Structure 1
């Protein structure tokens, strides 16, 4: 079949009318001046010459995002029951909060839970360390940041993410609870996102424990007196938060929630 016939067929509608000049690029239809592209997708793929600006385009970013989800799901699909521990990367190893994180990680491991953290230093390292030293599975989900250098040495299974939202999905999908050690904006972000997901029933039977009443007490009081007091949340929403200084109490909250979840599945 000659070119003119192909062009004519390509421009005919189902009822025999001629459609505007167009070019198909996979599922995409290009018309008018947009169709004047000389190369095909295969040709551009196989031809290694030319500028590299395409790696910074949004369609390429979509593939990177997809790859992060695939890698994360593949790595964590067979993870045993787990608890995510958040906390500040700035917590020093000689600080009492670091010792608390080690104790918490150890207790969770002894209770049969894997420990997931952001994989960084400080409080995250402490929880990974406690878990690993107790023989548990220590997991780190890192993030590309200008001021944090890779995964800590106590991570058994780890993955680094480019995108916060892909990483956040892994924290929620593969955890049975969140425990927050004292931390900054990152910890607060994860805390309130978890509370929102539980409040809106996107996730169920998901306790959120705040370790350290001196650190978290002011925030809890503000939520109780101002946010709940003004009717912005309900009493049952306030009950989603559990503040404690006791590691055994924290682990007990996690255990009970996990048992309730098991009973419904």
Structure 2
């Protein structure tokens, strides 16, 4: 649905000629600022284009009247031409799905599905290096925009971070699945790094949120296959996903990266925001989780995410603080003594009330809910003032 454009920072996609014509009818003025027009044939729309102010607009792979490429650029628009063929769409307007990334997995090995083909391309040297770099940048920017469109309300997103080593059938895996299930049933969207292990388990629990806790445990009871055999790992997961088709509620989000090519994305995210550049992906993942982040046991990657999130909270205004909930007292006090450093950093700052250590999923959910109520009250006060 095409809505009026009010300000430049509002990004609006137009992907067909009919959407372009609807846009013209609904514009509050003649300004195209913030409009991204993707792959539309505008060769017969010279009069309409002449009447518009294209500053701040983006035209990607559009067919334009003769000479309009340069005139639009001169007037302040970005005009991107058709790029060479890549195994991905640099101008895509939607997030990925498991079916798209794993297309054909039931009939062929994992190395032949689109996800692996894109990863393989990303590791190669490209003769057209300038075009390849542009395509990667455009792709990750497009994913940013698609993610914002799919999840505009950050306060309802709760991150679950944890290691990739939790195996299907283990207690740690079941715990992460239970946590994702509890959060999704409380109305939150569970966001993870989109990989295997605890990330897959949390996405799985959220994906199956309609099941009872007993039904969830039954679904997990014979779920096997580890990602050292990615073909079997993915096939078993797709079979489980197909056995429990969901009705489209977006309670499970994965944000993985091709930078970690050895970790396939899990299939239990309703939508997948997959990036080439891991630094962008990490920053976006932490930024989107406005409802807080629950940190399960993990190693270097999880510890990095803890202190990256701590840095965000340390310098954030009070209105932007989000809870950090570490699960596993012995793990975070003894094996990796993160808790001591984290609480020392937070001491005597507004962040101090947002750092927690618990040992069970129900306590983690209770804290997320408590901070959600606190945030809602603050927003109400701000609205009244």
TM-score (norm 1): 0.71
Match of 1:35 in 2: none
Structure that is richer in strand per residue: 1
How many angstroms does 1:70 deviate by? 2.2
Q: Distance in 1 between matches of 2:263 and 2:142?
A: 22
Deviations 1:72-94 (A, max 9, x none): 32332367812110111111113
Aligned to 1:263: 377
Residues 53, 194 of structure 1: CA spacing in aligned structure 2 closer, same or farther, 3 A cutoff? closer
C-alpha distance in 2 between matches for 1:233 and 1:206: 13
* Structure 2 portions without partners, runs of 5+: 1-72, 85-126, 211-248, 380-385
- Distance (whole Å) between structure 1 residues aligned to residue 83 and residue 155 of structure 2: 45
Change in Cα spacing, 1:45 to 1:129, as seen in structure 2 (3 Å) is closer
Query: Is the aligned partner of 1:246 residue 2:364?
Result: no
**1:207, 1:257 → 2: CA distance?**
7
Q: What's 1:178 paired with?
A: 293
3-state secondary structure, aligned to 2:273: strand
- The alignment of Structure 1 onto Structure 2 pairs a total of residues equal to 216
Which digits, 9 at most, give the CA deviation of each residue in 1:120-145, with x for residues without a partner?
Answer: 11000111111111137111111111
**Could you say which structure has the larger radius of gyration?**
1
Query: Which runs of 5 or more structure 1 residues have no equivalent in the other structure?
Result: 1-25, 28-41
Question: Against the structure 1 CA distance between its residues 256 and 222, is the aligned structure 2 distance closer, same or farther, given a 3 Å change threshold?
Answer: closer
Give the one of 206, 229, 235 matched to 2:322: 206
Change (3 A) 1:106 1:60: closer
Shift of 1:261: 0.8
CA contact (8 A) 1:90 1:122 kept: yes
Q: Which residue of 2 aligns with 1:53?
A: 129
> Match for residue 257 of structure 2?
143
SS at match of 2:256: strand
Aligned residue in 1 for 2:303: 188
- Report the counterpart of residue 114 of structure 2 in structure 1: none
Secondary structure of residue in 2 paired with 1:115 = strand
- Whether the 8 Å CA contact 1:72–1:170 is kept in 2: the answer is no
The root-mean-square deviation of aligned C-alpha atoms, in Å, is: 2.9
* Greater mean deviation of Cα atoms: 134-143 or 106-115: 134-143
Paired with 1:187 and 1:47, the residues of 2 have a C-alpha distance of 37
Distance 1:156 1:249 in 2: 26
How big is each residue's C-alpha offset from its partner over 1:83-108, in whole Å with a ceiling of 9 and x where there is no partner? 11011111111322111101111111
TM-score (norm 2): 0.50
CA distance in 1, matches of 2:316, 2:139: 29
